[in-house]
Amino acid sequence: MFALNIEDNWPPVGAEGVWCERIGEHFKIKNTPFFIPNLAFNDVFSAELDSVNKHVFEFEVIERSGHSVIWLMNNDKVDLTVFRKRLVELGCSYEGFPQFSLGSIDVPPSTKYEQLDELIEIYESMGVAFAFPVWMQDEDN
């Protein structure tokens, strides 16, 4: 569990649970976070767990996986069925948090960013908002 800093009522939760694998003294994140900035799928990080509730309050990325993270907010309730299908075709994965109209997208380093950019532009024009808390775009993609 990661403790989150709430400012102006955001994020809407005080902590976020993510899957992690223990790698010696470190951890490897095994899913894509919704609210934890600067951490992507398969990144290795160090953290000290709080002695009271075992939450992570601070962490340091030790090794970047090359994955990027895109967050989306769909307050206009745009149908994302085709969007999610196209993401999978591009090699990405999508996790939804419908209670808050949010999505979190894992973008592997092999993704063709030009095609992903085109897809995002289409859905931005429909009212979906995007943020890029971890962006590892390689110029070759």
Residue 113 pLDDT exceeds 60: yes
Domain end residue (candidates: 12, 40, 63): 63
Q: Average pLDDT in the 60-89 region?
A: 96
Domain that holds residue 32: 2-63
Residue 141 pLDDT exceeds 50: no
Domain end residue (candidates: 11, 39, 63): 63
Write the secondary structure of the chain as one string of H (helix), E (strand) and C (coil): CEECCCECCECCCCEECCCEEEECCEEEECCCCCCCCCCCCCCEEEEEECCCCCCEEEEEEEECCCCEEEEEECCCCCCCHHHHHHHHHCCCEEEEEHHHCEEEEEECCCCCHHHHHHHHHHHHHCCCEEEEEECCCCCCC
In this prediction, residue 49 has a pLDDT band, given cuts at 50, 70 and 90, of: confident
Q: How many domains does the chain have?
A: 2
Same domain, 55 and 112: no
Mean pLDDT score of the chain: 93
pLDDT at 38: 93
Residue 140 pLDDT exceeds 70: no
